[in-house]
């Protein structure tokens, strides 16, 4: 008997028929003698519809009330999934994030899980029940409802898997696993049978949307074995786990891209200590995640600072910079939300010099202009014009021979 | 400075524009220096839509999961209303039933409020905030989400008004107040400026749908002054409060009708002690409210028992009777959901003999057959064919001269 945590995304529970299909799949796992905890997201486009409703009422809904509103989406799907499983004749109970003991900090709309108080989960599992938990939501010490931000259900699933020491956390999605690139852009993209947490982390952060980065971090920290797989078939997906250095034979394991990027450039900032700090702490105070940062020296002691954020945060960020630009001595700023990020990721990159150069070469061959560059030990990212993203991903996928590498990868799995 | 509890029904918050209108009305009350707690129902048809979603998934959704699902409706409206008030620039916070301390028993879908723990409400009011509370929902001692049944938001509002010792509990609805009969059926129906709790209780139970009976009971018990009024205008509505006997001058103050009635007749039940008890306890165990009961002796020691329930419960009741009919020795049963209840209500009835006879006379004059009769100190109800309901209400409204009585009523107010 194993303890399995399963997570189904919004597209897997988009309507009554799909909910019944998920119910059958959950029951199959339970009938094999496993203890099963299921984390679900809101049905289909529910979250977006709720956001639209809020915007109909006011342009700037307060985050606390936004959480109050959004948390209802997952609460609906857990109730409906529990009904479907009960209709199949199996013992089941749904729990909201608060009921499941998902304790978070109080940063509304982007809360972080502090702890999972698993008493209730263990009690229900102990009574032989399938437990359905609302993803994406939690509760603060002050009994306030919070949400974890986009893709937060992954984090809920991994946090529960960690708290319960689950044998595996299965992330069901609408694709077969983690691919060397987005198959919608690159027809020759291949499924990876296995990938390390670090690689997955970079891929996740870089817009390969199968898993939320925070979920992967959590999984890495608590050694939760993830299985990313399709809810539409029974194919083995991609296992995400610790991979020893010996096995890191692929230089580049995937090409990721992200269209949810906006670029802001602040002009003529004096080159004095504390200026960048003031800028980025102002953004951080409003919970805006800054991704890439490039500072370029224009002339003596005057810099331009460019950085990227998620498109959702652009409006808020522009407001902040408008407010503090005088204080930091900037002459002005510009922003552009028609950019995209393309990245190559691979744990083997660290021991293979020249990878970044080959990336720039591939982009140059396609006449693609690079606006910003950022590198880590296992990835290189470039900001380019959003319109060129498909061309860029295809070129990089080919340049690093990813079509051919899946066999090697399977051999190590 | 007064403490005002306002309750807005689903039709008052059906869309963004209506929510903004309610927000303005709430703010008007707050700007006069009042402390304001607002209880809201789910937007428009949300509850019905959620019930349909559940039925798409399964024919018989478990009550506990139904509550989990339905509670989301009110949670959405409180968030949206709080956003609208915040957009007007006033301090506001929304609270779910659980957050507002609405403690209930564990009878899912029909829970009763046991207590309001008002700490959180008092804290938020103390900070000068307008407090928006989700109606219709609560939480059990075991942290389970419950709902109070149809119209439960009225009860939430009155319970909060009682707990906070509010000066008035304003029930906003889509009609101007309590009428001598349903104005849609009786064009000459008149608004009552004042009515006693007991009369309102009978009217409410009898299908004059402006207020939930349990809410009126609660109001009577805790001396909460109710003001039933329109959310579409500023007219004075109907005040519901204790009326001294001296003032009970109207024999009949209103004609109520109820189309949500199903009649069940159980045939040939042995006339032995405990039989009726067994039948009605079986129904009570499933939380089915039985309204009228008539037992008729057919021949020696064999009775027919007829009773009425809400249409929603018919399917469940039929299942129960099917199961226990052998046990209670019945030869069979029939049911009919094309019946309706018409009632006359008046606190003065108790001292005026012959009122029931005049009612039967009025119905006979219209050739309306009476299937069941039930009486209390201040009302007489008859079950008739649903198709004849309008004719019956019009005839009774005329018979008891209700068109002319409003003046008297206003004089006492």
User: What does the pLDDT average to over B77-106?
Assistant: 97
Same domain, B263 and B139: no
pLDDT above 50 for B408? no
Tell me the chain A residues in contact with residue B94 when contact means C-beta distances shorter than 8 Å.
65, 68
Q: B320-329: long-range contacts (C-beta < 8 A, 24 or more apart)?
A: B320/B282, B320/B283, B320/B286, B320/B288, B321/B264, B321/B266, B321/B279, B323/B282, B324/B278, B324/B279, B324/B282, B325/B266, B327/B278, B328/B266, B328/B269, B328/B270, B328/B275, B328/B278, B328/B279, B329/B268, B329/B269, B329/B270, B329/B275
Same domain, B14 and B152: yes
Same domain, A57 and A163: yes
Tell me the chain B residues in contact with residue A87 when contact means C-beta distances shorter than 8 Å.
57-60
> Are B251 and B201 within 8 A, CB to CB?
no
Q: What's the CA gap between A318 and B156, in Å, rounded?
A: 43
Q: Which of A198-212, A271-285, B107-121, B163-177 shows the lowest mean pLDDT across its residues?
A: A198-212
For the four alpha carbons of B259, B261, B262 and B266, in that order, the dihedral sign comes to negative
Tell me, yes or no, whether B111 lies in a domain.
yes
Q: What's the CA gap between A157 and A40, in Å, rounded?
A: 9
Same domain, A165 and A270: no
Same domain, B157 and B277: no
Same domain, B57 and B161: yes
- Is the pTM higher than 0.90? no
CATH of the domain at B33: 3.40.1160.10
* Domain end (from A174, A191, A224): A174
Same domain, A263 and A161: no
User: What does the pLDDT average to over B115-130?
Assistant: 97
> Are B380 and B400 within 8 A, CB to CB?
no
- Residue A411: the pLDDT is 35
Tell me, yes or no, whether B363 lies in a domain.
yes
Same domain, A151 and A282: no
Please tell me which of the candidates A59, A80, A93 has its beta carbon nearest to residue B54.
Answer: A80
Tell me, yes or no, whether B206 lies in a domain.
no
Q: Which of B122-131, B189-198, B236-245, B360-369 shows the lowest mean pLDDT across its residues?
A: B236-245
CATH of the domain at B362: 3.30.2130.10
Residue B81: alpha-carbon gap to chain centroid: 24
Percent of chain B with pLDDT over 70: 93
Tell me, yes or no, whether A228 lies in a domain.
no
Please answer yes or no on whether A57 and B94 come within 8 Å at the CB atom: no
> Are B383 and B292 within 8 A, CB to CB?
yes
Closest C-alpha to A126, from A91, A83, A158: A91
Mutation target to probe the B interface, by most B beta carbons within 10 A, among A83, A119, A132, A140 is A83
Q: Is any Cβ of chain A less than 8 angstroms from the Cβ of B121?
A: no
The pairing of strands B113-116 and B130-134 is: unpaired
* Domain end (from A155, A174, A193): A174
Segment-wise mean pLDDT, segments of 10 residues, chain A, 413 residues: 94 94 97 97 94 94 97 98 98 98 95 95 98 97 93 93 96 87 86 88 68 87 93 91 65 87 91 82 88 77 88 93 90 94 83 81 91 84 94 93 56 35
Binned at pLDDT 50, 70 and 90, residue B245 comes out as low
Same domain, B7 and B143: yes
* Domain end (from A112, A147, A174): A174
Tell me, yes or no, whether B195 lies in a domain.
no
Determine the structural domain holding residue B280 and report its residue range.
255-412
Q: Is any Cβ of chain B less than 8 angstroms from the Cβ of A21?
A: no
Tell me, yes or no, whether B268 lies in a domain.
yes
Provide CB contacts within 8 A for A324, sequence distance 6+: A278, A279, A282
Tell me, yes or no, whether B377 lies in a domain.
yes
- Residue B24: the pLDDT is 97
**Count of structural domains within chain B:** 2
Q: What's the CA gap between A396 and A400, in Å, rounded?
A: 6
> Are B305 and B269 within 8 A, CB to CB?
yes
Same domain, B162 and B263: no
Q: What digits encode the pLDDT tens for the residues B15-31?
A: 999 999 999 999 999 99
Mutation target to probe the B interface, by most B beta carbons within 10 A, among A55, A57, A71 is A57
Tell me, yes or no, whether B103 lies in a domain.
yes
Give the distance from residue A215's alpha carbon to the nearest chain B alpha carbon, in angstroms. Answer: 26
User: What does the pLDDT average to over B270-283?
Assistant: 84
User: What does the pLDDT average to over B132-152?
Assistant: 94
């Amino acid at each position: 008997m194993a303890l399995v945590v399963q997570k189904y995304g919004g597209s897997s529970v988009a309507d009554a028929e799909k909910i019944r299909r998920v119910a059958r799949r959950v029951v199959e796992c339970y009938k094999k003698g496993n203890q099963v905890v299921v984390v679900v997201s809101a049905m289909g486009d529910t979250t977006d519809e709720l956001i639209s409703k809020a915007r109909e009422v006011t342009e700037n809904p307060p985050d606390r009330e936004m959480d109050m509103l959004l948390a209802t989406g997952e609460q609906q799907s857990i109730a409906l999934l529990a009904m479907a499983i009960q209709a199949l004749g199996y013992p089941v109970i749904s729990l909201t994030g608060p009921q499941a003991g998902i304790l978070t900090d109080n940063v509304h709309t982007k809360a972080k899980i502090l702890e999972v108080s698993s008493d209730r989960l263990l009690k229900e599992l102990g009574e032989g029940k399938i437990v359905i938990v609302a993803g994406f939501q939690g509760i603060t010490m002050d009994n306030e409802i919070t949400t974890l931000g986009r893709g937060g259900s992954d984090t809920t699933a991994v946090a529960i898997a960690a708290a319960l020491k689950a044998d595996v956390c299965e992330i069901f999605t609408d694709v077969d696993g983690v691919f060397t690139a987005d198959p919608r852009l690159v027809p020759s993209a291949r499924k990876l049978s296995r990938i390390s947490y670090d690689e997955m982390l970079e891929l996740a952060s870089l817009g390969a949307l199968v898993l939320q980065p925070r979920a992967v971090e959590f999984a890495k920290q608590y050694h939760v074995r993830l299985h990313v797989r399709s809810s539409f078939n029974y194919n083995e997906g991609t296992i995400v786990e610790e991979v020893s250095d010996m096995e890191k034979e692929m230089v580049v394991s995937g090409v990721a891209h992200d269209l949810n990027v906006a670029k802001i450039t602040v002009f003529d900032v004096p080159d004095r200590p504390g200026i960048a700090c003031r800028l980025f702490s102002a953004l951080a105070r409003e919970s805006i995640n800054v991704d890439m940062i490039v500072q370029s020296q224009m002339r003596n002691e005057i810099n331009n600072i460019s950085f990227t954020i998620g498109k959702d945060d652009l409006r808020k960020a522009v407001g902040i910079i408008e407010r503090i630009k005088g204080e930091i001595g900037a002459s002005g700023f510009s922003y552009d939300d028609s950019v995209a990020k393309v990245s190559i990721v691979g744990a083997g990159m660290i021991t293979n010099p020249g990878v970044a150069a080959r990336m720039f070469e591939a982009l140059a061959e396609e006449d693609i202009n690079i606006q910003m560059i950022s590198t880590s030990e296992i990835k290189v990212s470039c900001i380019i014009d959003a319109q060129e993203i498909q061309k860029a991903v295809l070129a990089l996928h080919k340049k690093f021979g990813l079509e051919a590498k899946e066999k090697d990868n399977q051999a190590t799995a």
